[in-house]
Amino acid sequence: MFGYYFNLALRSFRRNRALTALMVLAIALGIGASVTTLTVFRVLSGDPIPQKSDQLYYVRMDPATMDGFTPGEDPDEQMTRFDAEALLREARGDRQALMSAGSVAVEPDAEGLAPFVLQARYTSADFFAMFDTPFRHGSGWQRGDDESRARVAVISRAMAERLFGDTDPTGRSLRMGRTDFRVVGVLDHWRPTPRFYDMSSGEFTESEDVYLPFSTSRDLRLPTQGNMNCWAEPTGEEGSTGPDAPCTWMQYWVELDTPAKAATYRAYLDNYTSQQRAAGRFERPDNNALTPVMAWLEEREVVPSDVRLQVWLAFGFLAVCLLNTVGLLLAKFMRRGGEIGVRRALGASRRSIFMQCLVEAGTVGLAGGALGMLLALLGLWAVRRQPADYAELARMDPTMLLVTFAMAIAASLLAGVLPAWRAMQVTPAIQLKSQ
């Protein structure tokens, strides 16, 4: 029966080309816009590290003085160097890393290449294992390298190719900040989206090109970058990046395999801050946070409000397109009142009329979905040309492809229900008489 109805639907399309084209176009436009914005939304709200996002926790505490203290406020977004280093030293998690953004001046060995400045990440040994970074050559450095302030570096694949060409650069020397570093590893392409480990300088920017031990970066006084919040004048030769500076500017992540370990770690943090308060370093009451990746992304409201607004707009647009399709389907089915009347008079049940109309509506949806997918591809192409950090990530994937067709067919069936209902109410007698 379905095949027969499908065949009838195609015949009916041929009879009413303009009207059918209008319906297909309306569904296609609505679906195209919705799928485009949904794809962007999905890319931006996705899990950047799905295999272990529930085992990685962002650590925060409230180390400032009582000045400007408001009870109930969130803890500071970043950590002081003192606390980050203390937690790293005590190493109570399965893995842990402190980190900060920085920049280094690179002096290439090759002839004709002028020195240039690179974005860097200063971190500690567990960073690579914790975030499952893919390696093309070599590996990360060891904990001992952190302690000995070793001159070692991991670089990105792009940087390796720029500086060393196609050869494996591990073991080779790279001059940065007037110091020779030994390249121990080359990352393969790695771009977690959002860049969850440090979102203070943009949520969707690319990962850094060079990674150095944090201890080494302080030893060499390499320039740091990113947000810094100080509540008192830093003293000491290193200023605001000094070991005791009253400034928050570091990110701290800990890996905890089980919820039980997370609970233990939470207690450990509370214990740590109580001790700091007892020692007179902290003034505020305990306000520690141990936030898993996805909760942290949500708290930071990573998805830009423009993108959320676009999703709303697209669905509003889809609603108008659907209303339009309902009207056109209604017109189309009512116009066929005579034909339906004859079929009813010949014994077709209301149910079969209803089914026939729905199949026709669904077929419109199928065609609309196909065209809508092309429009969505076009829309995503337009998004990729937009001036946003995330633009190049907006691509169709198999899931969204399925979603497109499911949405188009569901939408057209929904639009078809009312007209089909009206069509099956056609009374055979009246229609036959008016013929």
Partner 1 sequence: MELRPILSTLSRHKTAAALIVFEIALSCAIVCNALFLIAGRLERIDRPTGADEQHVVTVQARGLARDENANALTQTDLAALRAIPGVANATISVQMPFGNSNWNSSVRMTAEQRGETMSVSNYIADEHLIDTLGLKLVAGRNFTRDEVGDFGRMRTEGKVHFPAVILGQATADRLFPAGDALGKGLYIWGEEPSRVIGIVERLAKPNDFGSAASYEESVILPGQVPYSSGAYLVRVQDPSQRQAVLEQAQKALLAQGPTRIVDAEQARTLESMRDRYYRQDRAMAWMLVAVIVALLVVTALGIVGLASFWVQQRSRQIGIRRALGATRGQILRYFQTENFLLATIGIAIGMLLAYALNQLLMQRYELPRLPLFYLPIGAVALWLLGQIAVYGPARRAALVPPAVATRGA
Site for partner 1, rule CB under 8 A: 19, 22, 25-26, 29-30, 33, 66-69, 103, 105, 107, 114-117, 177-179, 220-221, 223, 233-237, 239-240, 305-306, 308-310, 313-314, 316-317, 319-321, 323-324, 326-328, 330-332, 334-335, 386-388, 418, 422, 434
**Between residues 1 and 18, which has the closer beta carbon with respect to partner 1?**
18
List the Cα angle 259/262/263 in 5-degree steps: 90
Q: Could you tell me which residues come within 8 angstroms of residue 407 by beta carbon, excluding any fewer than 6 positions away?
A: 31, 34, 35, 369
- With 0-12 CB in 10 A as exposed, 13-18 as middle and 19+ as buried, what is 54? middle
Instruction: Quote the least distance from Cβ 389 to partner 1, whole Å.
Output: 10
Instruction: Quote the least distance from Cβ 98 to partner 1, whole Å.
Output: 22
Residues 40 and 381: their CA atoms lie apart, in Å, by: 11
**Between residues 167 and 425, which has the closer beta carbon with respect to partner 1?**
425
Residues 378 and 36: their CA atoms lie apart, in Å, by: 9
Residues 136 and 190: their CA atoms lie apart, in Å, by: 11
**Between residues 55 and 241, which has the closer beta carbon with respect to partner 1?**
241
Instruction: Quote the least distance from Cβ 37 to partner 1, whole Å.
Output: 10
Instruction: Quote the least distance from Cβ 8 to partner 1, whole Å.
Output: 20
**Between residues 133 and 324, which has the closer beta carbon with respect to partner 1?**
324
**Between residues 115 and 259, which has the closer beta carbon with respect to partner 1?**
115
**Between residues 37 and 207, which has the closer beta carbon with respect to partner 1?**
37
Instruction: Quote the least distance from Cβ 229 to partner 1, whole Å.
Output: 9
Instruction: Quote the least distance from Cβ 122 to partner 1, whole Å.
Output: 15
Q: DSSP secondary structure string, 288-342?
A: -EEEEHHHHHHHTT-S-HHHHHHHHHHHHHHHHHHHHHHHHHHHHHHHTHHHHHH
Q: Could you tell me which residues come within 8 angstroms of residue 295 by beta carbon, excluding any fewer than 6 positions away?
A: none
The helix/strand/coil state of 79 is: strand
**Between residues 97 and 174, which has the closer beta carbon with respect to partner 1?**
174
* Amino acid at the residue 234: P
**Between residues 214 and 390, which has the closer beta carbon with respect to partner 1?**
390
Q: Are the beta carbons of 253 and 130 closer than 8 angstroms?
A: yes
Q: Could you tell me which residues come within 8 angstroms of residue 185 by beta carbon, excluding any fewer than 6 positions away?
A: 128, 135, 137, 138, 139, 140, 141, 154, 155, 170
Instruction: Quote the least distance from Cβ 246 to partner 1, whole Å.
Output: 11
Residues 228 and 234: their CA atoms lie apart, in Å, by: 12
Instruction: Quote the least distance from Cβ 69 to partner 1, whole Å.
Output: 8
Residues 253 and 96: their CA atoms lie apart, in Å, by: 6
